[in-house]
């Protein structure tokens, strides 16, 4: 049996989980990281898109 791992989904899930643990909104995380809210959202919820970090 071959198991494929979608690394983008794992990264997105980790970012979302840590953000929520810290009590941050996507807007606040975007502000702190100098990224757009749209980019944060895409990182967290898009699994099959090539996003460079």
Cα–Cα nearest to 24, from 10, 33, 43, 45: 33
What pLDDT score does 36 carry? 96
Which residue bears the tokens 């990281």?
A: 33
Tens of pLDDT, residue by residue over 1-30, are 776 778 888 999 999 999 999 999 999 999
DSSP string of the chain, one letter each residue = ------HHHHHHHHHHHHHHHTT--HHHHHHHHT--HHHHHHHHH-SSS----
| Residue 22, domain extent | 7-44
In a domain, 2, yes or no: no
In a domain, 23, yes or no: yes
Enter the pTM of the model. Answer: 0.76
What pLDDT score does 41 carry? 94
Domain count, the chain: 1
In a domain, 50, yes or no: no
């Amino acid at each position: 049996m071959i198991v494929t791992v979608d690394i983008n989904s794992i990264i997105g899930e980790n970012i979302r989980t840590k953000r929520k643990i810290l009590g941050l909104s996507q807007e606040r995380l975007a502000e702190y990281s100098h990224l757009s809210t749209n980019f944060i959202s895409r990182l967290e919820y898009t699994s099959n898109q090539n996003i460079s970090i």
